[in-house]
């Protein structure tokens, strides 16, 4: 499947990737702040509608990359401009384009200073994020990957809270150090495979020497695990979330965290399949720790944003658990968990932003009982909190159910360790919901507290629709990725000969295998 066959027709992906840059350039010349907001909203909404074209035209019956565009870019380095999507990246592209207008909407009043720069940053982010999910050439991928870093650091560093510089620097250093390993791995692969083309590398997969695969896997792993973030690489996340403006938190949670898990799916599994099998138990172990640890830590938080941030660690633990379960249930579940986390946690961050705009606090004690004067808010908060704890009938349930099914197929003992994490998810979310909706017997009083306005309801409604759509009728979502997941599993399937080698030799890095 891996050969890219370019699609001669309309360059839909390139337009999706680069038109935000154009929009940003135009935004630079708009003076009125309100016009800027409307312009960015209109543009991102248009991009979201355009991306539905991908959904409509996508052929779910093949695992081939679709909407492929291929042209030579830097011939002497054999770097190509190659983009394309399969079922997995399609979902993430759609998630990104859907989230963008909501980010603009939730910043409407929240961002009052440097509106122009803010909107330009958002638009550049869109280019980079869509680019990451579409890139079929490793150099192109890396450029987009790095391009995300600066606007995101700016979003935190300029529009963030009191400790914004600390948080943005921490985010930058963590991600940057991960990227260096990624770059080294890319160059090493280039010499081993002879091409930067991602499909070429996937095809090379099993033929790569085992020791080489170990090193590449580890380099990938550090880079992606920081991004996910997996325990113990997660400490940048709460800091970044707490300081980031609402839109920054939403982008971070909904899209940026997915890049780590996307990296595992797109690169680690197919390019280093034998190393993947070798390292699977360790990654699974870390995932289980992340699920339980994230839950425990979330339960201890009094800052709403920190609570949601740590819940993200736990949710992403489910995603990595599903991926490294290495079976259909697990990977399908993992992709759904990724999408669901984008929808639900994005919504929760918007909810927290709504509270912060009104009360200028995110403390659970100070927000106690606000639900009584804000019934519509409570209703939305209730649905998203239930979705986050994987209530049956909501989106997260399907994802976690599949991941747990995949996990049980691997090891029952491991899943018994996951169960406390599942219970904790209910504990911290219900605790939050109880505080917001009821509080205690002596709640702070906020005179003149307004319930959700029209703009806020419009922001949250699409996410609400997805909560129930994926929760009750996931078939359209599972169908587009079915073939891609099968294909991925075939690529990752352990070669029998190698399997015995892996079992026979313990973890032994053979430097002679390196180029």
Position among 401, 444, 482, 498 found at the interface with another protein (CB under 8 A) = 401
| Minimum separation from the CB atom of position 378 to another protein (A) | 11
Residues 363-392 that bind another protein (CB under 8 A): 386, 389, 391-392
Position among 45, 62, 373, 434 found at the interface with another protein (CB under 8 A) = 434
Position among 250, 284, 422, 432 found at the interface with another protein (CB under 8 A) = 422
Using alpha carbons, select from 315, 211, 202, 209 the residue that is nearest to residue 269.
Answer: 202
The CA-CA-CA angle for residues 306, 307, 308, to 5°, reads 90
The answer to the question of residue 469 lying near another protein (CB under 8 A) is no
The answer to the question of residue 446 lying near another protein (CB under 8 A) is no
Position among 426, 464, 498, 514 found at the interface with another protein (CB under 8 A) = 426
Nearer of residues 38 and 468 to another protein, judged by Cβ: 468
Using alpha carbons, select from 144, 275, 137, 141 the residue that is nearest to residue 208.
Answer: 275
Residues 16-55 that bind another protein (CB under 8 A): none
| Minimum separation from the CB atom of position 301 to another protein (A) | 18
Nearer of residues 38 and 438 to another protein, judged by Cβ: 438
Q: Which residues contact 5 (CB under 8 A, 6 or more apart)?
A: 64, 68
Q: Binding residues for another protein, how many (CB under 8 A)?
A: 33
Position among 30, 187, 289, 409 found at the interface with another protein (CB under 8 A) = 409
DSSP state of 137: B
The answer to the question of residue 430 lying near another protein (CB under 8 A) is yes
Nearer of residues 51 and 287 to another protein, judged by Cβ: 287
Nearer of residues 75 and 413 to another protein, judged by Cβ: 413
Say whether the peptide bond before residue 490 is cis (omega within 30 degrees of 0): no
Using alpha carbons, select from 63, 170, 155 the residue that is nearest to residue 115.
Answer: 155
Nearer of residues 346 and 371 to another protein, judged by Cβ: 371
Position among 60, 438, 444, 502 found at the interface with another protein (CB under 8 A) = 438
* Spatial separation of the C-alpha atoms in residues 380 and 371, rounded to whole Å: 10
Position among 255, 352, 398, 436 found at the interface with another protein (CB under 8 A) = 398
| Minimum separation from the CB atom of position 39 to another protein (A) | 40
* Spatial separation of the C-alpha atoms in residues 389 and 355, rounded to whole Å: 21
Distances (CA, A) of 119 to 46, 156, 167, 285, 443: 15, 13, 21, 40, 38
| Minimum separation from the CB atom of position 491 to another protein (A) | 24
Q: Which position has the token pair 């984008």?
A: 342
Q: Is 443 left (phi over 0), alpha (psi -120 to 50) or beta?
A: beta
Token representation of residue 460? 């949250």
Token representation of residue 150? 């600066």
| Minimum separation from the CB atom of position 471 to another protein (A) | 8
The answer to the question of residue 432 lying near another protein (CB under 8 A) is no
Backbone angles phi, psi at 391, to 5 degrees: -70, 135
Token representation of residue 196? 């930067």
Residues 309-348 that bind another protein (CB under 8 A): 329
Position among 31, 75, 412, 413 found at the interface with another protein (CB under 8 A) = 412
Residue 454 C-alpha from the chain's centroid: 28
Of 12-20, 27-35, 154-162, 414-422: span binding another protein (CB under 8 A): 414-422
Question: DSSP letters along 181-238, please?
Answer: HHHHHHHHHHHHHS--BHHHHHHHGGGS-HHHHHHHHHHHHHHHHHHTTPTTS-THHH
| Minimum separation from the CB atom of position 393 to another protein (A) | 6
* Spatial separation of the C-alpha atoms in residues 371 and 365, rounded to whole Å: 13
Indicate the helix (H) or strand (E) that contains 393.
Answer: none
Q: Is 194 left (phi over 0), alpha (psi -120 to 50) or beta?
A: left
Residues 248-307 that bind another protein (CB under 8 A): none
Nearer of residues 392 and 453 to another protein, judged by Cβ: 392
Nearer of residues 8 and 475 to another protein, judged by Cβ: 475
Query: Which residues partner with 505 through β-bridges?
Result: none
The answer to the question of residue 396 lying near another protein (CB under 8 A) is no
Nearer of residues 130 and 386 to another protein, judged by Cβ: 386
Residues lying near another protein in the complex (CB under 8 A): 329, 386, 389, 391-393, 398, 401-402, 404-405, 408-409, 412, 415-416, 419-420, 422-423, 425-427, 430, 434, 438, 440-441, 472-475, 478
């Amino acid at each position: 499947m891996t050969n890219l066959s370019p699609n001669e027709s309309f360059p839909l992906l390139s337009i999706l990737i680069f038109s935000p840059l154009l929009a940003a350039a135009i935004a630079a010349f708009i003076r009125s702040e309100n016009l800027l907001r409307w312009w960015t909203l209109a543009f991102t909404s248009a991009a979201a509608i355009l991306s539905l074209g991908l959904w409509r035209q996508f052929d779910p019956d093949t695992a081939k990359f679709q909407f492929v565009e291929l042209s030579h870019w830097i011939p002497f380095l054999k770097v190509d401009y190659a983009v394309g999507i399969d079922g997995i990246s399609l979902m993430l592209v759609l998630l990104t384009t859907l989230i963008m207008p909501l980010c603009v909407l939730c910043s409407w009043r929240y961002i009052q200073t440097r509106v122009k720069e803010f909107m330009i940053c958002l638009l550049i982010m869109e280019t980079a994020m869509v680019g990451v999910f579409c890139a079929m050439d490793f150099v192109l991928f890396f450029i987009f990957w790095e391009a995300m870093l600066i606007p995101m650091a700016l979003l935190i560093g300029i529009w963030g809270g009191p400790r914004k510089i600390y948080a943005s620097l921490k985010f930058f250093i963590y991600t940057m150090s991960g990227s260096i390993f990624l770059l080294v791995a890319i160059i090493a692969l280039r010499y081993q495979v002879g091409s930067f083309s991602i499909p070429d590398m996937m095809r090379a997969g099993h033929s790569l020497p085992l020791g080489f695969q170990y090193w590449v896997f580890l380099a990938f792993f550090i880079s992606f695990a920081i991004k996910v973030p997996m325990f113990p690489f997660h400490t940048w996340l709460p800091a970044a979330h707490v300081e980031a403006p609402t839109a920054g938190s939403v982008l971070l949670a909904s899209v940026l965290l997915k890049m780590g898990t996307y990296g595992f799916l797109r690169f680690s599994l197919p390019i280093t399949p034998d190393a993947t099998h070798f390292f699977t138990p360790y990654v699974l172990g870390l995932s289980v720790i992340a699920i339980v640890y994230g839950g425990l830590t979330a339960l201890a938080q009094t800052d709403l944003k920190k609570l949601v941030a740590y819940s993200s660690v736990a949710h992403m633990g489910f995603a990595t658990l599903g991926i490294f379960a290495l079976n259909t249930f697990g990977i399908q579940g993992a992709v759904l968990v990724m999408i669901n986390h984008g929808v639900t946690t994005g919504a929760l961050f918007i909810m927290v932003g709504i509270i912060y705009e009104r009360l200028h606090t995110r403390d659970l004690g100070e927000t106690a009982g606000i639900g009584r004067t804000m019934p519509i808010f409570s209703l939305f908060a209730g649905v998203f909190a239930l979705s986050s704890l994987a209530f049956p009938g909501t989106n997260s349930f399907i994802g976690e159910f599949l991941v747990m099914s995949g996990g049980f197929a691997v090891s029952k003992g491991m899943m018994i360790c996951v169960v406390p994490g599942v219970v904790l998810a209910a504990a911290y979310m219900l605790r939050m919901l109880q505080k917001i909706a009821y509080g205690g017997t002596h709640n702070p009083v906020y005179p003149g507290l307004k319930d959700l306005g029209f703009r806020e309801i419009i922001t949250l409604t699409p996410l609400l629709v997805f909560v129930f759509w994926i929760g009750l009728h996931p078939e359209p979502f599972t169908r587009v990725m079915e073939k891609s997941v099968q294909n991925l599993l075939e690529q990752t399937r352990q070669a029998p000969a190698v399997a015995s080698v892996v079992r026979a030799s313990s973890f032994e890095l053979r430097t002679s295998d390196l180029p």
